[in-house]
Amino acid sequence: MQDKIFEELFENYLQRKLSEVEEQELMQLIRNGEYDDFLKEKIHTMLKEKTGSEVMDTEESAYVLRCILSETKDDSGVIRLETEKRNRKKILRVIFAAASIIALIAIGNSLFFQQKTSITNPVVEQDIITENTLVDFSGKQLIHLPDGSTVLLNDKSSLKYDQSSFNNKTREVTLTGEAFFDIKRNETKPFIVHTGKVQTKVLGTAFNINARNSSKNIEVTVTRGKVQVGDTEKIYGVITPNQQIKVNKSTLDFEQNNVSAAVVTEWKSNYLILDDINMEEAVALISQKYKVQIVLANEKIKNCRITASFLNEEDLNHVLKVISSVTETEYRYNKTGSVILDGKGCE
């Protein structure tokens, strides 16, 4: 499959193992724009593994990718530190870290840092990144934690953890805002979420925490398993699916109620997460979200696996375009409005 060929070429290029012909083939595939989502995801992953600095949100990764793919030599936007709504120190770190990773795939003649490289003292900046063990995620995104757990972070929210101590005796994170947690079970290492003075402790379960600044309460709602909620002095209670503990941020007064977890977590329905699943599962999720029937013309397409996150209310055509690119399929609409996906599929 073409996507597997691309991934193999990319990995070999990072290890400097490509021949000149293979390198030209890789660069042409990148220029075609079909693997932008793969590159952006790679930027996320490699930044997280290599630097431990802030991981970029969707907008930021797209920005760096545009820098990488820029082919206009006199484009002052290739390195733009004054971009609106960006913290200068953070963008310095992000661009420098991305540069250290993506320099290997500098399209054409080192396009990523052509002209106007106004970043000063990069070695010092790299030292700062290396010494910082705090990982900070912000904005809506799907986060894969080192223990195999996942966190779906809502808009205007953040999650932090210290990678030097996470998964030692405990697995501890700090949340601001709202997130849905799906925690991998480990009876020897409790998972603890800190939200202000409130601590939510689990071994392995799925639950939602809403601790937005606009609310006077912290709400913990369980969808699977058991969750213990309390503070440093006492336990408020242990809740199970469709139960919620609401804690006043100021007084720490709390109440426990039965709720509909599906209603509480309805915000997740705006997101489409395809997290290393086969195409049969992916088609079911896409059909459910967009209320459309999707037919696979070739049964082998079901065997293809895909990882993709759509967090910005993308329309159906955008999703289908990405899916088709990754799985080497083509889509079309029939007379009834159904979507037909056709291609050779996977063994």
What residue type is assigned to position 142 of the chain? L
For position 18, what pLDDT does the model report?
72
Region 112-122 average pLDDT: 36
- For 33-61, what is each residue's pLDDT tens digit? 667 777 767 666 665 554 444 445 555 55
Region 245-267 average pLDDT: 96
Percent of the chain past pLDDT 90, that is, above it, reads: 57
Q: How many Cα atoms are found within 13 Å in the side-chain-facing hemisphere of 30?
A: 24
In the numeric block, which tokens belong to residue 243?
């139960």
DSSP line for 2-26: HHHHHHHHHHHHHTT---HHHHHHH
Q: What CATH code would you report for 271-343?
A: 3.55.50.30
Cβ atoms within 10 Å of 155's Cβ, excluding its own:
16
Residue with the bigger pLDDT between 90 and 46: it is 46
Q: Tell me if 159 sits within 8 A of 48, measured CB to CB.
A: no
Q: Which residues pair with 177 in a beta bridge?
A: 211
Instruction: Give the lowest-confidence range in 129-138, 200-209, 338-347.
Output: 129-138
Region 111-139 average pLDDT: 52
Matching residue, tokens 């996470």: 166
Residue with the bigger pLDDT between 94 and 168: it is 168
For position 185, what pLDDT does the model report?
94
Has residue 17 got a pLDDT over 90? Answer: no
- For 129, the 3-state DSSP assignment is helix
For position 208, what pLDDT does the model report?
98
In the numeric block, which tokens belong to residue 125?
């900046």
In the numeric block, which tokens belong to residue 296?
């696979």
For residue 50, give every residue at least 6 positions away whose Cβ sits within 8 Å of its Cβ, in sequence order, or none.
97, 100, 101
Q: pLDDT band at residue 22, thresholds of 50, 70 and 90?
A: confident
| Residue count of the chain | 347
What residues does each domain of the chain span? 35-131, 134-265, 271-343
Percent of the chain past pLDDT 70, that is, above it, reads: 69
Mean pLDDT of the chain: 78
Has residue 124 got a pLDDT over 50? Answer: no
Has residue 13 got a pLDDT over 80? Answer: no
Q: Given phi > 0 = left and psi -120 to 50 = alpha, else beta, which region is 342? A: beta
- For 141-182, what is each residue's pLDDT tens digit? 999 999 999 999 999 999 999 999 999 999 999 999 999 999
Domain 134-265 adopts which CATH fold?
Answer: Jelly Rolls (2.60.120)
For position 26, what pLDDT does the model report?
73
Strands (E), the chain: 134-138, 141-144, 150-153, 158-162, 171-182, 191-195, 198-202, 206-211, 217-224, 227-230, 235-239, 243-248, 254-258, 272-278, 294-296, 305-310, 329-333, 339-343
For position 131, what pLDDT does the model report?
54
- For 190-249, what is each residue's pLDDT tens digit? 999 999 999 999 988 999 999 998 899 999 999 999 999 999 999 999 999 999 999 999
In the numeric block, which tokens belong to residue 59?
């907008």
**Whole-number Å distance between alpha carbons of 320 and 274:** 13
Q: pLDDT band at residue 290, thresholds of 50, 70 and 90?
A: very high
For position 43, what pLDDT does the model report?
66
* Local structure of residue 185 (DSSP, 8 states): P
Helical segments of 15-57, H only: 20-31, 36-50
Q: pLDDT band at residue 5, thresholds of 50, 70 and 90?
A: confident
Q: For residue 175, which of 160, 191, 162 has the smallest C-alpha distance?
A: 160
pTM of the predicted structure, to 2 decimals: 0.62
Helical segments of 82-200, H only: 88-102, 107-110, 122-131
For position 332, what pLDDT does the model report?
95
**Whole-number Å distance between alpha carbons of 93 and 203:** 35
For position 59, what pLDDT does the model report?
54
Q: Which residues pair with 195 in a beta bridge?
A: 198
For position 107, what pLDDT does the model report?
37
Q: Which residues pair with 208 in a beta bridge?
A: 180, 221
